[in-house]
Amino acid sequence: MSVDIGRQIAQEILKSQTRTSIIQPPEKGGFKEQPRPLSYYYNPHQYATVEAGETETIYDFTVPGSHVLHVHQVANNWFEECYADWKIDGARFERVERWISSINTPLVIKDRCILAYKNVKWIFYNKCDEDVLAETLIDGIIYHVDDIKKVIGQRLI
């Protein structure tokens, strides 16, 4: 049995066990550095108790130098009179005033090519009269900046 066939069989076994796709290097050139899940650097699920009338940064991830985060999933919980600012690289990406998806079944957004080169933040604003437990999940894959161009470069053209 050749090495390529053995590798393909192993990847199919892993796919069936994990239900996630295995990242394949591009045909031309391969990866400069093996991509890693965000959880290698930072817990994608963050939460905190936010007191009534207060503001708190729930999620604060700094992307390692020469790398980029490709966001694959997002989820949050929601309360009346509360909202959050989702910031990517210092700019507000979205003001979240609704429930996006359950923490246990996050919304898959990897085809939207949302990239963070510096940082990702989730700032929660509690404008109600009670303390709340705010949660967010932002997950993805960390690529070397040269590799992300190979992986999604054709989608951007």
Can you tell me the mean pLDDT for 11-24?
58
pLDDT tens per residue across span 33-62: 889 999 999 999 999 999 999 999 999 999
Q: State the average pLDDT for the chain.
A: 86
CATH class of segment(s) 29-156: mainly beta
**For the chain, what percent of residues have pLDDT higher than 90?**
68
Establish how many alpha carbons lie within 13 A of residue 55's alpha carbon, considering only the half-sphere containing its beta carbon.
Answer: 7
Can you tell me the mean pLDDT for 23-32?
63
Output phi, psi for 82, to 5 deg. -130, 155
> Can you give the pTM of this predicted structure?
0.77
Q: Where are the beta strands (DSSP E) in 39-130?
A: 45-50, 55-62, 67-76, 82-88, 91-96, 107-108, 115-116, 119-126
pLDDT of 31 > 60? The answer is yes
Can you tell me the mean pLDDT for 109-134?
95
- pLDDT (0 to 100) of residue 150: 79
Determine which of 7-11, 56-60, 79-83, 113-117 has the lowest per-residue pLDDT on average. 7-11
pLDDT bin (cut points 50, 70, 90) of residue 30 is: confident
Domain boundaries, the chain: 29-156
- pLDDT (0 to 100) of residue 17: 57
pLDDT tens per residue across span 56-99: 999 999 999 999 999 999 999 999 999 999 999 999 999 999 99
Sequence-separated (6 or more) residues with CB below 8 Å from residue 84: 58, 76, 95, 96, 122, 123, 124, 125, 134, 136
- pLDDT (0 to 100) of residue 152: 75
pLDDT bin (cut points 50, 70, 90) of residue 109 is: very high
Helix (H, G, I), strand (E, B) or coil at 25: coil
